[in-house]
Amino acid sequence: MPTPDEVFDQVLAEETAKGSSPAVAQARAKAARVRAQRGSANPSKPDPSTAPAPKRDGATAAASGATAAPAAEAKPAAGTATKAAPKPAAKAAPARKAAAGNGAVPERVQRLLAVVKPEAIQKVERQPMDRVNVWPHLMAGEFVALLVVMAILTFFSVMVDAPLRELSNVNQTPNPSKAPWYFLGLQELLRYWHPQVAGVTIPNVLILTWFALPFIDRNPSTRPDDRKLAITLWSFYMLTFAVLTIIGMFFRGPGFNFIYPWEGGIFFEL
């Protein structure tokens, strides 16, 4: 009797000679080897009990039904005792058990092609977010702010006299010589540190810090209770430069020396 491996090679060669596809030939050869391992008498052929039942068309089924009907009517007429025919389902169960007992392997093998995750077919609804439209909510507020700033600037320009002065004289330096108000904070720092520190190091550190802030502080919250550190640092920075600017404007006189404005006057012009 051939071994299971010999049966596998024989069936594989026969299926290949018939022109079957490699997948089909491999599947049938494996099934034959399993039948040989389980002691089947003819492992190269599938067990007839496991073969699928042939399909019948409508005409054949109707003819068989018509033939069976007179036979069923003739038996009661003969007066003989008859027994109810067993249901097909009752015959199918012993057939399946017999096939399982013989160790037969069905010829058709079904394989799992893919697994679809349930999340991929579920509908994910978008989370609601608080949003407003640019128009009119944002644009209307910005336009009102623009009108307010324009009104303040117009009022300030009318009320404050800012005439053009004489041409500059390189032989005469005004005393005190003050920078514009937005640079007076840095000029005040020059009274305390070396120009390399007050004029180069500190401004560069501040500028680089401003550029890095969006990457350092990634807190999306806008509530003051959640941004205590950021608000504290920014308030300290603004207060420091406001104090330095006020000192440079009203408390510095000739030679950029410290004076009291109610005693020596105010040496500052816009």
Per-residue model confidence (pLDDT) at position 270: 67
Alpha helices in 44-106 (DSSP H): 58-77, 88-102
Per-residue model confidence (pLDDT) at position 136: 85
- What DSSP state is assigned to residue 79? T
Per-residue model confidence (pLDDT) at position 190: 92
Which CATH superfamily does the domain covering 173-264 fall into?
plastocyanin oxidoreductase (1.10.287.980)
Per-residue model confidence (pLDDT) at position 240: 94
Q: What residue ranges do the domains of the chain occupy? A: 1-49, 134-163, 173-264
Per-residue model confidence (pLDDT) at position 58: 47
Residue range 3-14, pLDDT digits in tens: 888 888 888 888
Per-residue model confidence (pLDDT) at position 148: 97
Phi, psi of 258 (to 5 degrees): -80, 130
pTM above 0.85, yes or no: no
Residues of the chain falling short of pLDDT 50: 58-100
Residue range 97-131, pLDDT digits in tens: 444 455 555 556 666 666 666 655 555 566 666 77
In the three-class reduction of DSSP (H, G, I as helix; E, B as strand; rest coil), residue 258 is classed as: strand
Per-residue model confidence (pLDDT) at position 45: 72
The DSSP string of 118-186 is HHHHSPPPPPP-----IIIIIHHHHHHHHHHHHHHHHHHHHHS-----PPP-TT---SS----GGGHHH
Distance spanning both ends of the chain, measured CA to CA: 116
| Structural tokens at position 202 | 């500190």
Spatial CB neighbours of 3, under 8 Å, sequence gap ≥ 6 = 36
Per-residue model confidence (pLDDT) at position 8: 86
| Structural tokens at position 209 | 């810090």
How far is the C-alpha of 244 from the C-alpha of 206, rounded, in Å?
A: 16
Phi, psi of 252 (to 5 degrees): -125, 130
Per-residue model confidence (pLDDT) at position 130: 73
Spatial CB neighbours of 135, under 8 Å, sequence gap ≥ 6 = none
How far is the C-alpha of 36 from the C-alpha of 43, rounded, in Å?
A: 5
| Structural tokens at position 141 | 């507020």
Phi, psi of 183 (to 5 degrees): -110, 0
